[in-house]
Homo-oligomer: A and B are copies of this chain.
Amino acid sequence: MALPIGTTVRAFAPASVSNLGSGFDVLGLAVDGAGDTVLARRIAEPGVRLDAVRGDGGVLPTTAEANTAGIAAKATLELAGVDIGVALELDKGLPIGSGLGSSAASAVAASWAVNLLLGKPLRKRDLIEACLEAEAAIAGRHADNVAPSLLGGLVLVRRVDPLDVVRLPVPQGLVLAVITPDLVVHTKMAREVLPDAIPLPSLVSNTADIAAFVTACFTGDLTLFARSIGDAVVAPKRTELIRGGAHAIEAALAAGALGSSVSGAGPSLFAFCRSQRQAEHVARAAQDALRANGVESRVLLSPADCPGVRQV
């Protein structure tokens, strides 16, 4: 049952780190401490309205039809088969174009807020499809950000059409350091540097690494985990787009990170660490390396196993 007209709910959707080395377009991980918030109010007139977008520096579309929050809200209503009216206010807590699933977080927060207004007829898993529609309109039809932002934790997107998503366990106690250089890398540009064709040995290397990564997630073997965060295909190309990126990854590894690479389209970098203390040390090392290249950066530390979208 939908809540009465005038009711408001608020949902927070976390940022997400995608790819994680060899999992280009198929692996994503929810992050804590950064994300987007959507306030949804039930209104009398049917349809979705976007009343406010804050924290984006004025760069995001402000109509419900063009903003991922509005698109996902509308798709959620359609998925639920309910024709109520919803007014949204979006608070961006995530930098745009940072490789941390900013557009996905907006979509997920809006989708969950609408589902809450409807009395929760749908499960989080059902909402992936609605959020994917929003992503498809803006960033490409991939679910490796919306799925972890919805479900939390580590998610494998086996297929997008038809959707086939599996949650994976995260080795206990890991801490993720996310370093976001103060640079803009557009998703489109990050897609354009990708090779159209890759050599067969790179396929072998990446399939071997993702298989080992998944194995390590189940067994908790951190040395195997550390060996498996490699990518012969995508990360090297995207790292080239990030001034100081290669140095920062090297510095993170030298400082003890289990693995480090580019998150999604970049420029954010991530590093898996064994403890909070190590993560602080690793983040500092990566920041120093970026600074030596003239690039300032922000750091986010998060447990590696985090919840997904929730009411706040």
Interface of A is mostly: mixed
User: Is A106 an interface position by the 8 A CB rule?
Assistant: no
B166 touches A224 (CB 8 A): yes
A211 touches B210 (CB 8 A): yes
Task: Give the distance in Å from the alpha carbon of A206 to the alpha carbon of B206 in the complex.
Answer: 9
Would A204 and B156 be within 8 Å (CB), given that A164-B227, A210-B210, A215-B168 are in contact? no
Would A158 and B214 be within 8 Å (CB), given that A198-B197, A203-B198, A203-B203 are in contact? no
User: Is A25 an interface position by the 8 A CB rule?
Assistant: yes
Would A215 and B156 be within 8 Å (CB), given that A197-B198, A200-B194, A224-B166 are in contact? yes
A207 touches B22 (CB 8 A): yes
Q: A191-219 interface mask toward B, CB cutoff 8 Å, 1 = contact, 0 = none?
A: 00011111110111011111111110010
Q: Which residues of B contact A235 (CB under 8 A)?
A: none
User: Is A27 an interface position by the 8 A CB rule?
Assistant: yes
List A134-176 residues whose CB lies under 8 Å from chain B: 156-159, 164, 166, 168
User: Is A287 an interface position by the 8 A CB rule?
Assistant: no
Determine the residue in chain B with the shortest Cβ distance to A216.
Answer: B166
Determine the residue in chain B with the shortest Cβ distance to A228.
Answer: B158
A residues with a Cβ closer than 8 A to B are 22-27, 156-159, 164, 166, 168, 194-200, 202-204, 206-215, 218, 224, 227-228, 233
